[in-house]
Amino acid sequence: MIPAQLSRRMPYVMLAVVAVLPFLLTALGAANLADQLTKLFPAAVLALALNVVVGYTGMLHLGIMAFFGIGAYVTGILVQQYQYPFQIGFWGAAAAATLLTGLSGVLLGAPTLRLRGDYLALVTLGFGEMVKDTLVNLDDITQGTKGINTVELTSLPDSLRQWNVTSGWDITMYYLNFGILLAVIFVLRNMERSRLGRAWIGLREDELATSCMGLNLVKVKLAAFALCAALAGLAGCLYVYAMTSTTDPKASYDFGHSVIILACVILGGIGNRNGVLLGVFLVLGFDQIVIPWVDQSLKSSDVTWFEMKDWKFMIYGLSLVLMMRFRPEGLIPEERIAHEFHDAK
């Protein structure tokens, strides 16, 4: 287990490294990695959103990509300059994506949160598949499998535009995503210490005891569901700007991606913000940075019979099996969960 003192200091060290890393990569001639890191920030916000439901309240959520997709398409429709009349800009689109996905979370949660365990998981799974198919089939609005393209920040100063061209990475999107991630971490940190946050933790530990304390469990669950959906919609907004497109719904907002985000939460440590961020860096950083680098190195060495990308899901599966066997609480577990696993020792 990572020592508690090191666990407390690790976030500050990681944030300092992330803040200066693009300039170090640019100096080393690897500016393209900074762009890859930019795409990890929306995934980090999404994993933190899922941690609200799975980590804080103990409910299993298998449809997080549905809210991510709704936020992405709300953003694409509101800001794309050539096919839609709105063009409200980044901040307006971010607010709209957050509010509308939060509302969709309430609409889904209100009639279903009396369900428990596997039944609730199946409802979220079904909702995720419904949203994905809806995005594909509403061609006149969503552009079907082509997605909404050419989504980008506008009205940038000329100095920033020139920097983006000459440096090889988008400094504006990098630090915009980084700043929003810091804001989300700050909000969740305060939520954990609030009365509602303590109610979430109580719900996870013992639902019956929490209800006996006079709390309305449906409202407590609904608040978690709404916050999870709202943050997932914000992550979808950041993703669209990072990719400059909503991309293909079948490839980007499917059940498989929901499972990968859940794997990030489990691997890093359920209920622990720092652990979740570490899980995103390990799982998605391996997928988006390490695998392409290894495959490119093998191709340059004339090794054509092996590609790591063909084996990545086997690597993910083996990692999860080993984690569940030897460290089921995650790499940086939440203190209460760590005590539950190690009380016997």
Classified as helix, coil or strand, 245 is strand
Cα dist from 35 to 13, 112, 154, 168, 200, whole Å: 21, 39, 18, 8, 36
Per-residue pLDDT band at 312 (split at 50, 70, 90): confident
Per-residue pLDDT band at 50 (split at 50, 70, 90): very high
> Which of 63-67, 193-197, 279-283 has maximum average pLDDT?
63-67
**91-113 pLDDT, tens digit each:** 999 999 999 999 999 998 888 88
State mean pLDDT over 305-332. Answer: 86
Contact 235, 46 (CB under 8 A): yes
4-342: CATH, from 1.10.287, 2.60.40, 1.10.760, 1.10.3470: 1.10.3470
> Which of 79-83, 136-140, 171-175 has maximum average pLDDT?
136-140
pTM listed for this prediction = 0.91
State mean pLDDT over 294-312. Answer: 82
Q: What per-residue confidence (pLDDT) applies to 96? A: 96
Determine how many CB atoms are found less than 10 A away from the CB of residue 251.
11
Rounded mean pLDDT of the chain?
86
Burial of residue 196, with CB atoms counted within 10 A of its CB: 0-12 exposed, 13-18 middle, 19 or more buried: middle
Per-residue pLDDT band at 200 (split at 50, 70, 90): very high
Domain segments of the chain: what residues? 4-342
